[in-house]
Amino acid sequence: MSKYLVLAASVVILLSFVMQYGIEQRNHYNLVSFETTVNSTREEAKQAGAFTTDIIARMKEKIAEQFDVDESEIIVNVSAAKKYRTNEFDEREVIEYEVGIPLDKLIASNKLWGVSDEDNKTIHYVRGVVPSEALEE
């Protein structure tokens, strides 16, 4: 009987590794897709001189579709003022951005390892600057 009990416990522990493989691949795929979306969007922002309302709305829609999250959960902090391309480099004329999405499950069978649901989630941010390509009219 004790042999079967050890076997049952072993199966639970070993299965969590298998589930972790799936979660890690899902999170990784999501992160690559998310960063690609943000980096593609910043190219649009370069042309426009800022993350305009339209650009942000399109980006949020795309991320929400990819991640199956609500658009309100996506954190977007960007330069609101339009920046312009100048003949000399000017730090004030770069577009700053910070976009974050929630990752709600990092470890499989977290309670088995003593990790609470609160500690098992995080927000992944992409931050940076891009130069503006918009010309002043």
Partner 1 sequence: MKVLIMTCAISLLFSIFTLFQYDCNQLQLWEERIKWEADNAADAAALYYELEEFSEGTKVFDKSEGNEAVAYVLKDNLDPDGDGAIRNEVLGDKFEYYVYYFDGNGTMTAYKGTTKICESAFEFPYSFTEDLTGYTQTIAEATVIVTIDAGAFNYRLSFIDDPDCIRTSGFDYHSYN
Q: In the chain, what's the furthest Cα-to-Cα distance?
A: 83
- Phi-psi map region of 66: left, alpha, beta (phi>0 left; psi -120 to 50 alpha): alpha
> Which of positions 62-121 make contact with partner 1 (CB under 8 A)?
85, 87-89, 91, 94
Rounded to the nearest whole angstrom, what is the least distance from the CB of residue 32 to partner 1 in the complex? 6
Nearer to partner 1 by C-beta: 32 or 115?
32
Rounded to the nearest whole angstrom, what is the least distance from the CB of residue 22 to partner 1 in the complex? 11
- Is 22 a binding residue for partner 1 by CB under 8 A? The answer is no
CA distance 16 to 65: 28
Place of tokens 């370069």: 46
Burial of 120 (0-12, 13-18, 19+ CB in 10 A): middle
Residues of the shown chain interacting with partner 1 in the complex, contacts defined by CB under 8 A: 3, 6-7, 10, 13-14, 17, 20-21, 24-25, 28, 31-32, 35-36, 39, 42, 46, 85, 87-89, 91, 94, 127-131, 133
